[in-house]
A and B are shown apart, each in its own frame.
Chain A
C-alpha cells in the first residue's frame, strides 16, 4: 500500500467491518477510519527501510517441518458435556444457533 492510500474511506471501513462480522454505528465508522488509518501510517514507516536484499518470509521462528504422529490423544479430548459447557445454546448434545441457510 503506498502512502496515498493509507487514508481509509468509510466505505472501506464498512467492508472491513462486514468481513470481520462487526456491527458499527456511523460514528464508530468515522472514528475507525481515523484510527485504522493512523495505524497504517505508523506501520508504513517500515517502507523507509531498504529491503532489496531481504528475502520475503511469512515466518520468523526459524522452525520448519513440525509434525505430530498420527495417534489419537484421548487425554486431550473433551467429553460432550465439557465441549458444550461454554455454549450459549445447545440441544441434545449439539451446539445450537439460529437457523442459517442450508449450504452444504
Chain B
C-alpha cells in the first residue's frame, strides 16, 4: 500500500437474534428453517392497519447483554423510533428501530493485531426489526421481485463502531472477535452464510498527516452484500486501492453505497446519485419508552458468561497451556466446556487432552468428555498413574497371589496375564498395560 495514505474503517454489523418469537409479535422466528414462504406472519409483521407491536422482552435483554459485553454504557432511558422509507420488503413503510436513544452506547472491544493491542470504539448497539426477504425472478416473461415475510420483524441488533480500524486485517480480527462474543452469549447463530450476521464496512482513505491530526476524510463508502470475514477483508482492500488511485489524481471518491461481487473480486456502485436519504425518524408512538433501574442493569451484567478473553487467560494459568493451545480451545464455547469436563478428572494431563482435541485424534462430537478420557488412557503409552502408586499396587497383588506368582516362576505364561488383570482391576484401568507388565517382570525375576 502507498505509505502516504492509510485506511479509516468503521463497521456496521447486523445480527439476527435467535429468540423463539419475532421482535414485536408472537410469530415464529425461524425464517431459515421455514418450509414455505409467508407462513410465519400476522397482522403486526405484515404491517396491516391497526396492528400493535409489543416488544419481545428477551430480545431487549439480549441486546443490552450484548451492549454490556462490549463494555457499553446502558442509558437508563431508551425508546424505539420509526425509520421511514419505501421498499417492498418493508410492509409498514417504516422500520421500527432506535435513533437517538439506543439501548447501549459508548463501548469498546480490545483486539490484538500481530503484536499490537488496539481498542476499537463501539459507538452504539441498538435493536430493530429485520425486513422481509426479496428474491428476483422472471414470471411469465416479466422481471419481478418475490417477497417472503417470514423474516419480517425478526429481532435484529445493529452494532456500530467508531472509525478506529486502520487495516483490512484489523477489521477481520475485530469481526472474528465480535462473532466469537456473540456466539459465547448464545444470542444468535451469527451464521454469515445464512445471513444471521451481516457486515457493512464504511471505508475511506486519509493522508497519514491528516488522520494523525484527528481529521477524518470528507467522504466514506459503505460496502454491502458481504457474507464472510475474508470477503470483508478483500472488499476493504479493493476499496482502499480504488480510493488511493482516485486521490492520486487529485479527486475525491464519491460518497456512495457499493456492493461486493465475490466472483469478480470487485465492488460496484449500487445507488445512483440521489440526495442523502431522509428517513424522518420520529418516536414510535405505539411503544411506550423503556426505563431501567440500576439493579436491573446489574442483573443483566450478572448474566454475562465468562467471555473469550477471560477464559483464555484462565486456561493458560489454570491448565498450564500455551497461548496457542488456549486460543484454539476457547475459540468456541462448546469446545472449551468439553475440554474442561475432560480435564476435571485430572487422570490425564490437560496438555494430553488438548492435543487430542486440537489434533482431532478423536471425534468430540461423538465421544463424551468422559469417554475421551478413557480412550486416551487406553491408548496412552505412558502410565497415567504415578509410578510409585502403581508399584505399590503391584507389590500388593504379588503378595496376595502367591499361587499365581509360583505358577509364573514355574514358566506358566497365563499366570502373568492373571496378575496383569488383577492390577488392572485394582487400578480400575488407569494403569498402562506395558508398564505394568515390565514392573511385574522385574519384581518376579
Is B315 in contact with chain A by the CB < 8 A criterion?
A: no
A68 surroundings in chain B (CB, below 8 A)? 26, 54-57
Contact across chains for A72 and B136 when beta carbons are under 8 A apart: no
> Roughly how many angstroms separate A20 CA and B89 CA in the complex, as a whole number?
17
A92 surroundings in chain B (CB, below 8 A)? 37, 146
A91 surroundings in chain B (CB, below 8 A)? 137, 139, 144, 146
Kindly specify which of A3-11, A24-32, A42-50, A74-82 makes contact with the partner chain: A74-82
Contact across chains for A59 and B288 when beta carbons are under 8 A apart: yes
Count, chain A residues at interface, CB 8 A = 39
B41 in complex: contacting residue of A83, A100, A102, CB < 8 Å: A83
Contact across chains for A95 and B146 when beta carbons are under 8 A apart: yes
> Roughly how many angstroms separate A102 CA and B134 CA in the complex, as a whole number?
8
B25 surroundings in chain A (CB, below 8 A)? 73, 76
Is B92 in contact with chain A by the CB < 8 A criterion?
A: no
Contact across chains for B280 and A94 when beta carbons are under 8 A apart: no
A79 surroundings in chain B (CB, below 8 A)? 39
Is B135 in contact with chain A by the CB < 8 A criterion?
A: yes
Contact across chains for A96 and B58 when beta carbons are under 8 A apart: no
Count, chain B residues at interface, CB 8 A = 57
A39 surroundings in chain B (CB, below 8 A)? none
> Roughly how many angstroms separate A70 CA and B27 CA in the complex, as a whole number?
10
Contact across chains for B270 and A103 when beta carbons are under 8 A apart: yes
B27 surroundings in chain A (CB, below 8 A)? 72-73, 76-77
Contact across chains for B54 and A67 when beta carbons are under 8 A apart: yes
Given the contacts A61-B288, A72-B26, A94 and B21 also touching, CB distance less than 8 Å:
no
> Roughly how many angstroms separate A68 CA and B89 CA in the complex, as a whole number?
25
Given the contacts A59-B285, A72-B28, A96 and B42 also touching, CB distance less than 8 Å:
no
Contact across chains for B57 and A97 when beta carbons are under 8 A apart: no
Contact across chains for B56 and A70 when beta carbons are under 8 A apart: yes
Contact across chains for B145 and A100 when beta carbons are under 8 A apart: yes
Which residues 5-40 of B have a CB within 8 angstroms of A?
19-21, 25-28, 36-40
Is A64 in contact with chain B by the CB < 8 A criterion?
A: yes
A52 surroundings in chain B (CB, below 8 A)? none
A93 in complex: contacting residue of B38, B40, B86, CB < 8 Å: B38
B26 in complex: contacting residue of A21, A63, A76, A98, CB < 8 Å: A76
Of all chain B residues, which has the CB nearest A81?
B38
A104 surroundings in chain B (CB, below 8 A)? 89, 131, 134, 224-225
B38 in complex: contacting residue of A74, A84, A98, CB < 8 Å: A84
Is A54 in contact with chain B by the CB < 8 A criterion?
A: no
User: What are 19 A-B interface contacts by the 8 Å CB criterion?
Assistant: A19-B280, A21-B93, A58-B79, A59-B285, A61-B288, A68-B54, A70-B21, A76-B25, A76-B43, A80-B36, A92-B146, A93-B36, A93-B148, A96-B144, A96-B147, A99-B145, A100-B134, A104-B134, A104-B224
17 further interface pairs, Cβ-Cβ under 8 Å (given A15-B278, A59-B288, A69-B56): A58-B283, A63-B288, A64-B288, A64-B291, A70-B56, A72-B20, A76-B25, A80-B38, A80-B39, A83-B41, A91-B144, A92-B146, A94-B37, A99-B136, A99-B144, A100-B134, A103-B224
Q: Which 3 interchain pairs have the tightest Cβ spacing?
A: A73-B26, A58-B283, A94-B146
